[in-house]
Amino acid sequence: MEAKDLLQNLDALTADDGSQLLESVTGNREAALLALAGEVQKQFHGPVIEFCAIVNAKSGNCPHNCSFCAQSSISKSPIAVYPFCRPEDLLAAARAAEAGGAHRFSIVTSGARLTKKELLMACETIRLIKDETSLLPCASLGKITIDDAHLLKEAGLIRYHHNLEANRDFYPRICTTQTYNKRLTTIMTAKEEGLEICVGGILGVGESIHDRIKLALEIKNLRPDSVPINFLDPRPGTPLAAQSLLTPNEAVLTIALFRIIMPYTNLRMAGGRVKVLGERQAEAIKTGLNGLMIGDYLVTKGAAVDADRELIASLNLTPSVAGKGASVYN
């Protein structure tokens, strides 16, 4: 399929087309692929980028064995471990994110799922964020039931985040304590309750470029409102501590592939972006991003907010200030 045909048939992009995209990468046609992604970006997205931020509301002691995660049961990484934070402390973090220009703010917790008490604390925090800031509340709280999702939505939650992390075939190589299907169930539970969904993955954990294409197609099938793209920043004490970083070229090409496969969806660059892309973040944004996670991540430091503002200004982009989400799936 030619580039112009791909551009006209993005809704019907299939795994076979994904394989042709792969051939364009391996056939020394990277420039054409990046140009196509840039064309898609211009056609479907304006000069606006959405800032979001997160807070680690409950850290460490996760029973799962995700090989990339410093908070997992098998990690020996020296991180802070603490229970669910007080809602007023989380509100303070939200206000700081708002002052930095964030449009969305997500409460993120470690562990398989929250206890009933923790869920109620999360709901209280969401109400505070909704009532006392202009931020759109998001959450990433692990497994939820339909009743949990209902409580969260009633409290004011807009969007629920739960990553696939990797495609179905590769996934068992990075986690065996939670199945891929259970991840899908959580995502569809949130969607069934009417919450927007944010679904992404982590790149650079040993997967191939073909694995990344498969992941993008699997995410697309879920019709997400937002897709966070994370890059592995190897943590000491984890099974992937010695994993080589994804190269900047690989990162930019993968973003291009994600943009072509998901032309309408909000793609946001999240964890590991500074470490992996460095000075090429601007190129990555132009290639296919319309969202950026600012501030610190779960257990690692992020870029300085002023540096991100300068980066966006250099690209003549405007931070988003209003709106519930830009996905055509709403």
Selected residue with higher pLDDT from 297 and 135: 135
Selected residue with higher pLDDT from 297 and 262: 262
Does the pLDDT value for residue 330 go beyond 60? no
- For tokens 């049961």, the residue is 73
Cα angle 44, 46, 47; round to 5: 145
Give residue 6's pLDDT: 58
**What band does 166 get if pLDDT is binned at 50, 70 and 90?**
very high
For residues 225 and 197, the answer to whether their CB atoms sit within 8 Å is yes
Give mean pLDDT, residues 204-220.
95
DSSP state of 89: H
Looking at the domain assignment, is residue 329 inside a domain? no
For residues 148 and 119, the answer to whether their CB atoms sit within 8 Å is yes
Does the pLDDT value for residue 246 go beyond 70? yes
Q: DSSP letters along 154-169, please?
A: HHT--EEE---BS-TT
Does the pLDDT value for residue 326 go beyond 70? no
46 in helix, strand or coil?
coil
**What band does 324 get if pLDDT is binned at 50, 70 and 90?**
very low
Looking at the domain assignment, is residue 134 inside a domain? yes
Looking at the domain assignment, is residue 158 inside a domain? yes
Does the pLDDT value for residue 36 go beyond 70? yes
Does the pLDDT value for residue 4 go beyond 80? no
For residues 97 and 319, the answer to whether their CB atoms sit within 8 Å is no
Chain centroid offset of residue 308 CA: 17
Mean pLDDT of the chain: 90
**What band does 297 get if pLDDT is binned at 50, 70 and 90?**
confident
Residue range 218-229, pLDDT digits in tens? 999 999 999 999
Does the pLDDT value for residue 231 go beyond 90? yes
Give residue 91's pLDDT: 98
- Provide the CATH number for the domain around residue 129: 3.20.20.70
Looking at the domain assignment, is residue 8 inside a domain? no
**What band does 25 get if pLDDT is binned at 50, 70 and 90?**
low
Give residue 32's pLDDT: 82
Residue range 104-125, pLDDT digits in tens? 999 999 999 999 999 999 999 9
Selected residue with higher pLDDT from 34 and 94: 94
**How many structural domains is the chain composed of?**
1
Give mean pLDDT, residues 226-253.
96
Looking at the domain assignment, is residue 39 inside a domain? yes
Q: Where are the beta strands (DSSP E) in 6-111?
A: 48-58, 104-109
Give the tokens for residue 60: 């460490």
Those residues with Cβ within 8 angstroms of residue 306's Cβ, 6 or more apart along the chain or in another chain: none
Looking at the domain assignment, is residue 189 inside a domain? yes
Looking at the domain assignment, is residue 257 inside a domain? yes
Does the pLDDT value for residue 55 go beyond 50? yes
Which domain, by its residues, includes 76?
Answer: 13-319
Give residue 5's pLDDT: 58
Selected residue with higher pLDDT from 29 and 68: 68
Looking at the domain assignment, is residue 6 inside a domain? no
296 in helix, strand or coil?
coil
